[in-house]
Copies of this chain bind each other. A is one copy, B any other.
Amino acid sequence: MKKMISQATIDRLPLYFRTLRLLEDEKISIVSSEELGRRLDITPEQIRKDLATFGQFGRKGIGYDVHDLKEKLANILGLHNRWRLAIVGVGHLGGALANYVNFASLGFSVVALFDNNPKIIGTQVNGIKINAASQMKRIFASKEVDIGVITVPASEAQAVADLLVDAGVKGIWNFAPTKLNVPLIIPLINEDLSIGLSALSYYMTQE
């Protein structure tokens, strides 16, 4: 990582990107931070500050070119990379992710599936064969996998993470509700669904 940019800023970039796409669909070619902010419930100052972190993308008195800014954000986010995913743990959630259409539109594709349940090894999901975890290293090489998605139970997640690291994974997207230890150079994003649901429960409990 070149420079330290706040997590909050990084997490807002996909929202800007998404909105610019919609604006492009609406044939709107110029947008102000004011309008972007209105669509996203984010202050215009915040948006300008976030964008200014990466360069000068707008024109004073005018606004931002929708197509141009969209492409620049795609570049910053690395969405032109056509990342290849492997999903480890083809239960309900893993299976759903294997079929998830939104990924494709962001440039991600699922190229491999792994599971240790002998009953499903060899079967296919969305046209992709499920392999035993022991095949990971071999398949990672042939399929050029970039990202490992962990959708196994928490108790097995660390072992899977170790296998992924050993197979040369470049990044990990973890859905198991547990802390993982992986080398610092490998980006890891935790997607713990129980946090959001518990937070919702908390807010519903406050009268």
Are the C-beta atoms of A198 and B39 separated by less than 8 Å?
no
Q: Which of A26-34, A113-121, A185-193 contacts B (4 or more CB under 8 A)?
A: A185-193
**Min distance, Cβ A154 to any Cβ of chain B, angstroms:** 9
Q: Which of A101-109, A136-144, A158-166 contacts B (4 or more CB under 8 A)?
A: A101-109
Interface size on A, residues (CB 8 A): 58
Q: Which residues of B contact A206 (CB under 8 A)?
A: 1-2
Given A1-B203, A81-B201, A201-B83, also A179-B40 (CB < 8 A): yes
Are the C-beta atoms of A179 and B79 separated by less than 8 Å?
no
Which applies to chain A's interface (DSSP): helix, strand, loop or mixed?
helix
Interface centre among A95, A194, A200, A204 (most CB of B within 10 A): A200
- A144-185 interface bits toward B, Cβ cutoff 8 Å, 1 = contact, 0 = none: 001100000000000000000000001111000101000000
Interface centre among A11, A146, A147, A189 (most CB of B within 10 A): A189
The 8 closest A-B pairs by CB, nearest first: A78-B205, A187-B203, A96-B96, A14-B198, A92-B96, A92-B99, A78-B201, A171-B204
Interchain residue pairs with CB less than 8 A apart (10): A11-B199, A14-B192, A17-B198, A76-B202, A78-B201, A95-B96, A96-B96, A170-B204, A171-B200, A191-B193
